[in-house]
A and B are shown apart, each in its own frame.
Chain A
């Protein structure tokens, strides 16, 4: 198995379709296939063992992903927001390798990684522009031998975001990514006129998965390297975009902008499907978005780097049912991540003894399936003997098999021996009409070990007092879950892919105490 086989099928069946578009520059499926072959020939030097890319989304990105697969070397997209020091630590794990980056970085880093003193045996640093010129030149030599079909070859090394520690490289093998694509995407399922707007950075698993799945479906991907709500809407309207994926913070900004424009709807009737994931979506944002995009199907996707992206989906009909149902249990599903994929099994386990928990009980989410890697470089596979991966995300399943997330188990608050999940308390706070966003954490407490503290962002023009919010939680949950301390902030800290940085909230509250 190899991602290249997916591209070969696409180039064979619809080679003239546009595969990727960046500004005015485009690559058809056949051109992408040819460029990947040319890159694979360049990588065939007997030394290169990794291809790293430190760059925003450009046409070089899909060429890099597929060219590396053809050459049989892992592709490693790096986070361009990291400092040089942080990058050094990652790049040193990718020797001997090649690094493709933007022009400015290429000239700055070339001496650094090219010199024996600093970079050891790092092969080279090259600019994206030079790479694109070389692999797209007419008559560029293509790799002559076929790619390996060994399912265990490493396709992608993805450094996990490290909100809980030092970044480590998740190993995604060909079999994981190909299984994900074959199990979730219909070959050539897209119409020729379909266009997908991609604004997730390359170093995010959703960005990598989107490349493989859009190629298999035959969709045209329009890359938006630097997200802003204005450019997103502008391109979506101009290009009559039909599909898009956003992280929650992006959707919140799009909703804000549309509300500021004073429009009743987004004026984007072309947009058939809008999927979101990568963090917790505030209920108010998704409800507003559904009103602003009345013709659009919404899908919530839950997945991890270690599971080759999506493992559970809340589909369009689930969204509509949740909005319209008189049944509270169905309405609550708007904040769930839906049901596991048919190709994936989910099991909720007791954090202490690992036994499977019944419906409705909170525990650790475990997952099993062909697409699940659960492996880190240098640490080996973290799967148990039966193939289960412990996501370390807390959650529970409801009667209908819908999965509710409760945050990382590392975030669990232990107050007087009672375990409580921040997510449960946040969900209750978010149902208050004055609350736009909320973060609940444990703070050190002499009497209880930990006390519950909340940081709340009020909705524009709305007010709520500390005692009112405390009463709100007390009326709906046990009194032990009522935040003893509530602060009001103008906004909560998120990383650029929409993950709430609880660590920063914790640090700030500790300083205030």
Chain B
């Protein structure tokens, strides 16, 4: 369990995924990637296998969110594991592509 701050960088303990918190929930949550709790970007990954139930992968540049919309996570490096908060899988935030304006 942890309370996150916007801007915090994290990584998966079990795959190559790297993440940044875009919107942080104002509550204690357990954020997992590949089924294992995520760790600080600078920390040494303990290793281990990706849980087959959490193996849909992360895609670089995609933002992931929950049904409540109170958490948003940017994938800054892709990996095999997928994201979940308190056991519930996060979904890719659907964004209608906008025409280039600058």
Contact residues, B21-79 vs A (CB, 8 A): 22, 60-63, 74, 76-77
Cα(A183)–Cα(B98), bound, Å: 9
Q: B95 is contacted by which of A12, A210, A217, A342 (Cβ under 8 Å)?
A: A342
For B8, B61, B77, which residue has the most chain A Cβ atoms within 10 angstroms?
B61
Q: How far is the CB of A173 from chain B (nearest CB, A)?
A: 11
Q: B20 is contacted by which of A149, A183, A310, A313 (Cβ under 8 Å)?
A: A149
Interface residue? A189 (CB, 8 A)? yes
Residues of B within 8 A of A213 (CB): 100, 102
B76 touching A301 by the CB < 8 A rule? no
Cα(A245)–Cα(B9), bound, Å: 33
B102 touching A209 by the CB < 8 A rule? yes
B97 touching A189 by the CB < 8 A rule? yes
Interface residue? A393 (CB, 8 A)? no
Cα(A186)–Cα(B62), bound, Å: 8
A210 touching B102 by the CB < 8 A rule? yes
Q: Per-residue CB proximity of A211-228 to B under 8 Å, as 1/0? A: 001001100000000000
A188 touching B61 by the CB < 8 A rule? yes
Interface residue? B3 (CB, 8 A)? no
Number of A-B contacts defined by CB within 8 Å: 81
Residues of B within 8 A of A2 (CB): 7
Residues of A within 8 A of B20 (CB): 1, 5, 149
A273 touching B95 by the CB < 8 A rule? no
Q: How far is the CB of A342 from chain B (nearest CB, A)?
A: 7
Number of interface residues of A (CB under 8 A): 44
Interface residue? A137 (CB, 8 A)? no
Given A149-B8, A149-B20, A187-B61, A342–B96 Cβ distance below 8 Å? yes
A310 touching B102 by the CB < 8 A rule? yes
Q: How far is the CB of A310 from chain B (nearest CB, A)?
A: 4
Interface residue? A277 (CB, 8 A)? yes
Cα(A303)–Cα(B60), bound, Å: 28
Given A149-B9, A186-B61, A188-B60, A301–B101 Cβ distance below 8 Å? yes
Interface residue? A151 (CB, 8 A)? yes
Q: Per-residue CB proximity of B88-102 to A under 8 Å, as 1/0? A: 000000011111111
Interface of B is mostly: loop
Number of interface residues of B (CB under 8 A): 21
Interface residue? A110 (CB, 8 A)? no
Q: Per-residue CB proximity of A185-200 to B under 8 Å, as 1/0? A: 1111100000010000
Interface residue? A243 (CB, 8 A)? yes
Q: Per-residue CB proximity of A118-155 to B under 8 Å, as 1/0? A: 00000000000000000000000000000001110000
Question: Which residue of the partner chain B has the closest CB to A212?
Answer: B102
Q: How far is the CB of A422 from chain B (nearest CB, A)?
A: 26
Question: Which residue of the partner chain A has the closest CB to B8?
Answer: A149
A206 touching B99 by the CB < 8 A rule? no
A273 touching B100 by the CB < 8 A rule? yes
Q: How far is the CB of B14 from chain A (nearest CB, A)?
A: 20
A301 touching B102 by the CB < 8 A rule? yes
Cα(A242)–Cα(B96), bound, Å: 21
Q: How far is the CB of B89 from chain A (nearest CB, A)?
A: 21
A299 touching B99 by the CB < 8 A rule? yes
Residues of A within 8 A of B96 (CB): 342
Residues of B within 8 A of A69 (CB): none
A275 touching B7 by the CB < 8 A rule? no
Question: Which residue of the partner chain B has the closest CB to A309?
Answer: B102
B99 touching A182 by the CB < 8 A rule? no
Interface residue? A434 (CB, 8 A)? no
B102 touching A206 by the CB < 8 A rule? yes
Residues of B within 8 A of A187 (CB): 60-62
Q: How far is the CB of A207 from chain B (nearest CB, A)?
A: 8
Interface residue? A341 (CB, 8 A)? yes
Residues of A within 8 A of B63 (CB): 182
Residues of B within 8 A of A341 (CB): 98
Interface residue? A297 (CB, 8 A)? yes
Interface residue? A464 (CB, 8 A)? no
B99 touching A297 by the CB < 8 A rule? yes
Cα(A309)–Cα(B102), bound, Å: 9
Residues of A at the B interface (CB closer than 8 Å) are 1-2, 5, 8-9, 12-13, 149-151, 174-175, 179, 182-189, 196, 206, 209-210, 213, 216-217, 243, 245, 273, 275, 277, 297, 299, 301, 303, 309-310, 313, 315-316, 341-342
13 CB contacts below 8 A, A to B, read A1-B7, A9-B60, A151-B6, A151-B7, A175-B7, A187-B61, A188-B60, A189-B97, A245-B101, A273-B99, A275-B102, A309-B102, A313-B101
Kindly list 8 other residue pairs between chains A and B, CB separation below 8 angstroms, not including A149-B8, A189-B97. A2-B7, A13-B60, A184-B101, A210-B102, A213-B102, A309-B102, A342-B95, A342-B96
Residues of B at the A interface (CB closer than 8 Å) are 6-9, 20, 22, 60-63, 74, 76-77, 95-102
Nearest 7 CB-CB pairs, A to B?
A: A187-B61, A301-B101, A149-B7, A210-B102, A1-B7, A299-B99, A310-B101
